[in-house]
Chain A
Amino acid sequence: MEQQIIKVKNKKGVRVIPGFGLSLGVTLFMLGTLVLIPLVSIFISASQLSFQEFVNIIISRQIVSGYVVSLSCAFFAALINAVFGLMLAWVLVRYDFPGKRLMDGLIELPFALPTAVAGISLTYLYSDKGWIGSFFDKAGIKIAYTRIGITLAMIFVGIPFVVRAVQPVLEKLDRQYEEAAMMLGASGTYTFFRVVLPELFPALLAGFGLAFARGIGEYGSVVFIAGNIPYKTQIAPLLIMSKLEQYKYEDATAIALVLLLISFFLMFLINSLQIYMQKFSRT
């Protein structure tokens, strides 16, 4: 009897290796207690609000402006990161030069450096008395405590995502197509935009999406340079924080729920766009 069960399972090609039950149990238990239960609490807590209350909270002027600041700054930061990230990935993959390994190692710095440290350091650098800020201040441009500063901090945290998304794809890219294009008389720029870029685009989009999502959620590095001027430089995560400090848990939950839905929607959109484009380019 037991022999037969094993045989049937072998035929299907599953579960010869022991440990399925244990692995599944441990994985589900840890995922459930450490991640899913706390997350579900947000939905439970939000469901205690009536729909009207919920709408009233999230359409208040302060909160709408928080979303606008977060989304617009994160979008521009991700866009700038896409350009520089692509450039950095290209330079790191295609060229040889002294200091290349150091440059490659530096990319993850924003990841390893605690966000609060990055935050106070960027604020110092770009305030009107800082090394770079004073320079711009003379030209009448304020960076710290404006949306430019927020965008800058988001560029800082987002850059590794784009580089690390594009780099492996570029490494694997077959150079024959480029050579063929060059041979047929295409210029370097034309080859890049018509031959290389379409191949890299799904990876670039993934990097853009990750940087965008990180920018929307980022708190530590942004909060110092933002200056938190109501309606101008208050980001959405900061609004959650200040509502919590005022013990307005309902408001905090409502803001968080919208932010959660935005980031889920974004991830979904980028995933499906990537799948679509991969199908499209294969056929």
Chain B
Amino acid sequence: MKEKKRNYDQDIVGDGINSIQKVLEPASRVSNNTVKYALIGICTLFLLVMLVLPLVVVIVNALKDGWMAYRKAVQDEYTIKALQLTLLATVAAVAINTIFGLFASFLLSKFYFKGRQLLATLIDIPFSISPVIAGLAFILTFGNIGWMGDFLKNHGIKIVFAVPGIILATIFVTFPFVFRELFPVMNAQGKDEEEAAALMGANGFTIFRRITFPHIKWALLYGIILCAARAMGEFGAVSVISGHLRGKTNTLPLHVEILYNEFNTTEAFAVSSILVILAVLILIAKNFVEWKKK
């Protein structure tokens, strides 16, 4: 008796909701659509003005004086040298930060120890620091007034205002990138599989190669791409430490600055277009990896 009544009630409620839904749906869908298209419109406009337009400006200005002028600016001796240095610094930063990212995320995700949280926080520091401060830190360490300055001078090693300084500054700025992509993936995977393999007698390298690595390969590639993007475009830190020696310690972004400050606007934009092309390639690679990851 009691049970029957409850069913009856539920039916009424169910019917009620169904009928409300039927009545409400057409009206709410119309207003939802207006909101939807308004929001999509605002977002598209925002992205066009804020992100796409600056790219268009670079390309248009680069080609303003014609194709020959563009080729001349891009094939300039200093441009080529700057490009080489940028690539060198990027490769070095990616290599070092990949090694660090692999070890650090393995450490923090597979082992539990005191100070784990503190270590994770310390690794993230370069992320929240102004690049200019990063550059200053290296000057205060390795420069003439730095506490290692005398030692380096006596041994004839030049770091500040030289290529090693540029590489160090680039590494510093991109330090947490690979780690940040790897750690969440390794952490989510847990350590059961590695423990099982270890108990069955696999050595550390085999465990990493056969068990950990297959899980993280796309995340690793993703981290490397982000790291390369940031390393290639680093300006503030490198600017402090480079000394702006043309053909020696000039990276591509610094070369852009010099040309721009000399009012060689077209050349500055032409050199910028190389960086824009690299940035777009990186974005495409990034989206491809993101798609593969899923």
Contacts and interface: CB of A to CB of B under 8 A. Distances in A.
B23 interface: no
B75 interface: no
Contacts of A38: 134, 137-138, 140-141, 172
A18 B54 contact: no
Question: Do most interface residues of chain B lie in helix, strand or loop, or is the interface mixed?
Answer: helix
A91 B39 contact: yes
A65 interface: no
Interface stretch (A51-59, A103-111, A136-144, A272-280): A103-111
A253 B136 contact: yes
A31 B122 contact: yes
B286 to A, nearest CB: 7
A39 B119 CA distance: 15
Interface in B244-294: 252-254, 256-257, 260, 265, 268-269, 272, 275-276, 279-280, 282-284, 286-287
Nearest to A159: B50
Given A45-B140, A121-B58, A110 B207 contact: no
A182 B28 contact: yes
B61 interface: yes
A173 interface: no
A95 interface: yes
Interface stretch (B4-12, B65-73, B107-115, B213-221): B107-115
Given A117-B275, A121-B55, A155-B50, A183 B136 contact: no
A131 B136 contact: no
Contacts of A103: 43-44, 47
B175 A35 contact: yes
Contacts of A237: 130-133, 236
A109 to B, nearest CB: 5
A30 B96 CA distance: 9
Contacts of A220: 131, 233, 235-236, 239, 253
A101 B131 CA distance: 31
A267 B28 CA distance: 41
B273 to A, nearest CB: 9
Nearest to A217: B130
Contacts of B40: 91, 95, 97
B157 interface: no
Contact of B130 (A104, A109, A120, A263): A263
A37 interface: yes
Contacts of A263: 128-130
B159 to A, nearest CB: 11
B272 A120 contact: yes
B136 to A, nearest CB: 5
B168 interface: yes
User: Is the interface on chain B under 10, 10 to 19, 20 to 34, or 35 or more residues?
Assistant: 35 or more
B253 A114 contact: yes
A109 B175 CA distance: 20
Interface in A2-50: 14-20, 22-24, 26-27, 30-31, 34-39, 41-42, 44-45
Contacts of B239: 219-220, 241
A18 B208 CA distance: 10
B188 interface: no
A264 interface: yes
Given A24-B107, A99-B44, A122-B54, 19 more contacts: A15-B111, A22-B204, A31-B122, A42-B133, A88-B43, A106-B283, A115-B236, A117-B253, A120-B272, A125-B54, A155-B50, A156-B50, A159-B51, A216-B130, A219-B131, A220-B253, A249-B139, A253-B136, A266-B128
26 contacts: A19-B207, A26-B104, A30-B100, A31-B119, A36-B122, A38-B138, A38-B140, A42-B136, A44-B140, A87-B43, A91-B40, A106-B283, A112-B279, A112-B280, A114-B233, A115-B235, A116-B233, A116-B254, A120-B257, A220-B253, A224-B260, A237-B131, A240-B130, A240-B133, A252-B136, A264-B128
Interface of A: 14-20, 22-24, 26-27, 30-31, 34-39, 41-42, 44-45, 84, 87-88, 90-91, 95, 97, 99, 101, 103-106, 108-118, 120-122, 124-125, 130-132, 155-156, 159, 182-183, 188, 213, 216-220, 224, 236-238, 240-241, 244, 249, 252-253, 256, 259-260, 263-264, 266-267
6 closest Cβ pairs, A-B complex: A114-B233, A217-B130, A220-B235, A219-B236, A38-B137, A23-B107
